[in-house]
């Protein structure tokens, strides 16, 4: 008989009275004096386990069923029946329970039917998907991935895989991990005494990408609306709850568009993402709301209903200067906004997501489009309550002479950017885009407070286990 997913047993799509086979793992077992046991079995298909009632008459009742502990894998055959007890409407009355895998040394099995600290589970990354919390995070993560592709597909965007290994040294978004096959204890030298990268695998220096943006612009300027969705790497020594060395980023790029179009897209996209979670994972959201971050469901719902507050950087600075709140870092026009300022803007001032636009040119990247005032560029950050910056984007500088002036102003050589400049040289168009940190979106959706718990195998400074 075919395997039945527990999700379908619980959602009413399997009729009471049907013979079913449940494959899964034991969450807990409770014995009754009446000579029967209640085994909670989960299979990952949904948040809730199903209760399997094991009568004492089962052939292996005493020597196997009564020895089941958390984590054992089982195949349960029986009939789906209405439950006699409270707490569940249906249960499986077992006619056979086959044990596929015992838990060796159950007294030291790390996953117990109790609350664990996130730090402990992080050190058991191979077992943590078995817990309620990480099972739910994994399901919601998948939902956000699927919703991302669906959103862009429905709007006619093309998914462009930009390279993970890049020989381009002009991405400029942060410290990079080197990719090399050179023997580190016996490096080849060139005539000047430096390392001879001509002998390296690619015949030149290579790194892991810090952003797919510059690459994806090539396709934007040919296909119109495109996006990347893939892993990104930063070798920065950041030890925070919001940074990873390896994380996933979504970077849409839209042609014939300006900064307002970009902000509109960011708003539509985020709302689509979180609405998908609310629609598809109500059970997991119930859990997050009850045990991870009270109020997270209401936060998502209001996010989906309210529009974003939009303000210019200049207006944001003015609001901060008038604020009664005490800031560690004083505010003045021209400085970059600190975490405390961003938090105040979105949590205290607007009480909803905020898009801050048109930052001073001196604190932003060379490729952002110069505004007519000559002082600001068409950049935007989306700030979300409780999480801070979730999106950073800009309209790109499409005028070659302005781009070249900006490169020179920032002391950058134009030569490495030859192909990027070509996009402006041949049929240039206004275009814009943004980057969304996928794990940060997942944190916002679930209420998970440390980004290392929003990715199955976190990489961070001095931390690459599993």
Closest CA to 29 of 46, 41, 42, 43: 41
Of the pair 44, 231, the CB lying nearest RNA is at: 231
Residue of the chain from 80, 440, 444, 445 that contacts RNA (CB under 7 A): 440
Q: Which is nearer to RNA, 65 or 436 (CB)?
A: 436
CB 128 within 8 A of CB 121: yes
Q: Does 88 bind RNA (CB under 7 A)?
A: yes
- Give the interface segment with RNA, choosing from 220-228, 252-260, 276-284, 450-458 (CB under 7 A): 450-458
3-class secondary structure, 92: strand
Q: Which stretches of 223-340 are assigned E, i.e. beta strand?
A: 225-233, 246-255, 309-312
Task: Tell me: does residue 217 bind RNA (CB under 7 A).
Answer: no
In this complex, which beta carbon is closest to RNA, that of residue 93 or of residue 197? 93
Report in angstroms the alpha-carbon separations of 137 from 95, 112, 285. Answer: 34, 18, 10
- Return the closest-CA partner of residue 373 out of 361, 381, 364, 363: 361
Tell me: does residue 67 bind RNA (CB under 7 A): yes
Q: Which of 80, 220, 407, 436 binds RNA (CB under 7 A)?
A: 436
- Binders in 127-156 for RNA, by CB under 7 A: none
Task: Please pick, from the candidates 57, 115, 194, 413, the single residue that binds RNA as defined by CB under 7 A.
Answer: 115
Per CB under 7 A, does 424 bind RNA?
Answer: no
Query: Judged by CB, which is closer to RNA: 348, or 463?
Result: 463
Contact 431, 395 (CB under 8 A): yes
Window 249 to 268, contacts with RNA (CB under 7 A): 249
Least CB distance to RNA at residue 334 (A): 13
Asked whether position 241 contacts RNA by CB under 7 A, the answer is: yes
Find the shortest distance in angstroms from Cβ 203 to RNA. Answer: 29
| DSSP track, 155-174 | TT-EE----SEE------SS
Query: What DSSP state is assigned to residue 199?
Result: G
Q: How far apart are CA 19 and CA 4, in angstroms?
A: 10
Q: Is 238 in the site for RNA (CB under 7 A)?
A: yes
Is 380 near RNA (CB under 7 A)? no
Handedness of CA 151, 387, 337, 177 (dihedral sign): negative
- Examine residue 239 and tell whether it contacts RNA (CB under 7 A): yes
DSSP label at residue 130? G
Q: Taking CB under 7 A as the criterion, which residues in 160-179 touch RNA?
A: 173-174
Provide the pairing of β-strand 207-208 with 246-255: unpaired
Is residue 292 involved in binding RNA (CB under 7 A)? no
Any contact of residue 230 with RNA (CB under 7 A)?
no
Q: Decide: is 326 part of the binding site for RNA (CB under 7 A).
A: no
Q: Is 89 in the site for RNA (CB under 7 A)?
A: no
Residue 113 within binding range of RNA, rule CB under 7 A: yes
Q: Which is nearer to RNA, 212 or 430 (CB)?
A: 212
Number of helical H runs and strand E runs in the chain: 12, 15
Closest C-alpha to 350, from 382, 394, 390, 314: 382
């Amino acid at each position: 008989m075919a395997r039945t997913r527990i999700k379908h047993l619980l959602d009413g799509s399997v009729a009471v009275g049907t013979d079913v086979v449940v494959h899964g793992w034991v969450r807990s077992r409770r014995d009754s004096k009446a000579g029967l046991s209640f085994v909670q079995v989960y299979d990952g298909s949904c948040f809730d386990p199903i209760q399997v009632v094991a009568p004492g008459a089962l052939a292996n009742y005493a020597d196997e069923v009564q020895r089941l502990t958390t984590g054992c894998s089982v195949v349960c055959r029986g009939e789906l029946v209405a439950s006699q007890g409270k707490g569940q409407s249906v249960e499986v009355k077992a006619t056979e329970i086959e044990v596929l895998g015992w838990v060796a040394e159950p007294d030291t099995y790390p996953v117990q039917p109790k609350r664990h600290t996130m730090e402990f589970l992080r050190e058991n990354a191979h077992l943590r998907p078995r817990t309620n919390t990480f099972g739910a995070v994994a399901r919601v993560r998948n939902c956000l991935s699927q919703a991302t592709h669906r959103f862009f597909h429905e709007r006619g965007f093309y998914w462009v895989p930009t390279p993970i290994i890049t020989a381009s040294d002009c991405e400029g978004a942060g410290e990079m991990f080197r990719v090399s096959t050179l023997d580190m204890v016996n490096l080849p030298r060139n005539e000047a005494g430096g390392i001879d990268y001509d002998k390296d695998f690619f015949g030149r220096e290579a790194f892991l990408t810090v952003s797919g943006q510059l690459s994806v612009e090539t396709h934007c300027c040919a296909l119109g609306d495109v996006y990347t969705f893939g892993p990104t790497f930063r070798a920065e020594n950041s030890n925070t709850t919001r940074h990873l060395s390896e994380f996933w980023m979504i970077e849409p790029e839209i042609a014939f568009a300006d900064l307002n179009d970009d902000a509109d897209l960011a708003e539509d996209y985020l709302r689509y993402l979180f609405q998908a979670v609310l629609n598809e994972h109500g059970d997991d959201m119930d859990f997050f709301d009850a045990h991870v971050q009270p109020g997270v469901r209401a936060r998502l719902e209001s996010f989906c209903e309210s529009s974003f507050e939009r303000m210019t950087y200049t207006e944001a600075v003015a609001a901060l200067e008038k604020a009664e709140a005490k800031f560690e870092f004083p505010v003045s026009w021209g400085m970059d906004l600190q975490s405390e300022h961003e938090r105040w803007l979105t949590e205290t001032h607007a009480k909803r997501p905020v898009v801050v636009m048109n930052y001073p040119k001196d604190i932003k990247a060379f490729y952002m489009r110069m505004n007519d005032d000559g002082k600001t560029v068409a950049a935007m950050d989306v700030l979300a309550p409780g999480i801070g910056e979730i999106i950073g984007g800009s309209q790109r500088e499409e005028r070659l002479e302005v781009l070249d002036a900006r490169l020179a102003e920032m002391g950058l050589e134009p030569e490495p950017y030859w192909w990027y400049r070509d996009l402006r040289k041949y049929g240039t168009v206004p275009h814009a885009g943004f980057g969304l940190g996928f794990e940060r979106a997942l944190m916002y959706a679930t209420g998970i407070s440390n980004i290392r718990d929003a990715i199955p195998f976190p990489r961070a400074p001095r931390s690459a286990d599993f």
